[in-house]
Amino acid sequence: MHYTGTIWRPPYEASSLLLEVTTGCTHHKCKFCTLYDDLPYKFRMSPLNDIESDLQEAQLWSTNPIAMLTARLQGLSRPERIQRAFLTGANPFVLKYERLLTIAGLIQQYVPSVKTIGCFARITDIALKSDEALASLRQAGYDGLTIGIETGDDEALQLMNKGYAAADIVKQCQRLDRAGIHYSLFYLAGISGAGRGEAGAKATADVCNQLHPTRIGVNMLTIYPESALYQEIQRGIWKEESEIEKYQEIRTLLENLKIRTQFAALGASNAFPFQGSLPEDKETLNTALTKIIETGKEHDLREYRIHLRHL
Ligand code: SF4
């Protein structure tokens, strides 16, 4: 398989076929982000030949008689056929509609057991597609996008160079809702800065309450020295929230969500992983967050963040 640099995927895509169709990020400007800094370029589309040869390899695994025999000899269950593909890169959904259809066609040709195709997407990638194109991509299998909106706080979105505003999130995700394309949203606790976290959380809840995300995944801001944001902190331009403040912010988001969705914090940036369904588990999650806020030690939580060498 062709894999270039660090491959990022959401925790819930662990059993998906990871297919490299892009590398890097077309935007590459968010002040806090260092995710694709290990690449020698900003963004690259994979050649179709590479995608096709990776699919041929995947086809071999999913029908490989040796894998079946090994599983039987070891008393393991029969290897599952691949049900889902996850296209790698920061925003493969930026690819032109025609290219996304070509990729879906290749996946069908070589691994016909794949039922749905997911990937990371930016809000601006959705804006590039017509309603007809979105509906047709859904038909071709695209479903379950993951969108790092980070926040619904316009001031923070602008300051961090996200390249869109809260109103764009609502508009583009509502278009996905109409096209029948499901999506998960990633929220970044801490992005609004010291003293503004709870306002940012309320603004984000306002945005999410107008949408139908499958899940809202929480990540916590972890600033590395290579980031532009780190430099701003050093110059005294921006102040980071305390760790406890980040948990207060997450609790505020939870309290203000009125929609049916999954609420989860599973990535490495979260010292305390949690997940639940809303509204059923709201009280349990709230109690767990309150316990962290009341008994958590800022110093210990900070130590966790400082020693987090990789997200
Ligand atoms: S869009 Fe995502 S990957 Fe690209 S710079 Fe922003 S946070 Fe990083």
Question: Is 148 domain-assigned?
Answer: no
Q: Whose CA is nearest to atom 3 of ligand 1?
A: 90
- pTM (predicted TM-score): 0.93
295 class by beta-carbon count within 10 Å (0-12 exposed, 13-18 middle, 19+ buried) = exposed
The verdict on 247 and 168 lying in the same domain is yes
CA dihedral 106, 109, 110, 114 (to 10 degrees): 90
The verdict on 97 and 205 lying in the same domain is no
- Separation of CA 76 and ligand 1 centre (Å): 40
Task: Report d(CA 54, CA 48) in Å as an integer.
Answer: 10
- Separation of CA 34 and ligand 1 centre (Å): 8
Task: Report d(CA 1, CA 52) in Å as an integer.
Answer: 10
Q: Are strands 261-265 and 274-278 parallel, antiparallel or unpaired?
A: antiparallel
Question: Is 254 domain-assigned?
Answer: yes
Residue 76 DSSP code: P
Residue 148 DSSP code: E
The verdict on 258 and 304 lying in the same domain is yes
The verdict on 185 and 291 lying in the same domain is yes
Assess whether the C-beta atom of 89 lies below 6 angstroms from ligand 1. Answer: no
The per-residue pLDDT string of the chain (311 residues; one tens digit each, 9 = 90 and over) reads: 999 999 999 999 998 999 999 999 999 999 999 999 999 999 999 999 999 999 999 888 766 566 666 667 777 766 678 899 999 999 999 999 999 999 999 999 999 999 999 999 999 999 999 999 999 999 999 999 999 999 999 999 999 999 999 999 999 999 999 999 999 999 999 999 999 999 999 999 999 999 999 999 999 999 999 999 999 999 999 999 999 999 999 999 999 999 999 999 999 999 999 999 999 999 999 999 999 999 999 999 999 999 998 78
Q: So what's the pLDDT on residue 74?
A: 76
SS3 for 43?
strand
The verdict on 65 and 195 lying in the same domain is no
Tokens of 272: 């305390």
The atom of ligand 1 lying closest to the CA of 122 is 1
Assess whether the C-beta atom of 30 lies below 6 angstroms from ligand 1. Answer: yes
Question: Is 114 domain-assigned?
Answer: yes
- Separation of CA 66 and ligand 1 centre (Å): 40
- Separation of CA 157 and ligand 1 centre (Å): 12
Q: Which of 143, 176, 195 is the last residue of a domain?
A: 143
Q: So what's the pLDDT on residue 121?
A: 98
Contact 147, 173 (CB under 8 A): yes
Q: So what's the pLDDT on residue 309?
A: 80
- Separation of CA 235 and ligand 1 centre (Å): 23
The verdict on 187 and 294 lying in the same domain is yes
CA dihedral 277, 218, 256, 195 (to 10 degrees): 160
The verdict on 238 and 191 lying in the same domain is yes
Q: Whose CA is nearest to atom 5 of ligand 1?
A: 28
Name the packing angle between helices 166-179 and 197-208 (round to 10°). 30
Q: Which of 97, 115, 143 is the last residue of a domain?
A: 143
What is the domain count for the chain?
Answer: 2
Question: Is 90 domain-assigned?
Answer: yes
Question: Is 85 domain-assigned?
Answer: yes
The verdict on 166 and 302 lying in the same domain is yes
Q: So what's the pLDDT on residue 222?
A: 96
The atom of ligand 1 lying closest to the CA of 32 is 7
Question: Is 123 domain-assigned?
Answer: yes
Task: Report d(CA 97, CA 109) in Å as an integer.
Answer: 18
The verdict on 280 and 214 lying in the same domain is yes
Place of tokens 């944001």: 229
The verdict on 108 and 238 lying in the same domain is no
Contact 223, 229 (CB under 8 A): yes
Residue 299 DSSP code: H
The verdict on 123 and 180 lying in the same domain is no
Question: Is 249 domain-assigned?
Answer: yes
Q: So what's the pLDDT on residue 208?
A: 98
Assess whether the C-beta atom of 33 lies below 6 angstroms from ligand 1. Answer: yes
Give the domain range for residue 295. Answer: 160-311
Q: Whose CA is nearest to atom 8 of ligand 1?
A: 33
220 Cβ neighbours under 8 A, 6+ residues apart: 188, 189, 190, 243, 246, 265, 269, 270, 271, 305
Q: What share of the chain is helix, strand, coil (3-state, %, to 5)?
A: 45, 15, 40
Tokens of 283: 């009280």
Q: Which of 93, 116, 143 is the last residue of a domain?
A: 143
Question: Is 155 domain-assigned?
Answer: no
- Judged by phi (left if over 0) then psi (alpha if -120 to 50, else beta), residue 276 lies in beta
The verdict on 224 and 84 lying in the same domain is no
Task: Report d(CA 129, CA 125) in Å as an integer.
Answer: 7
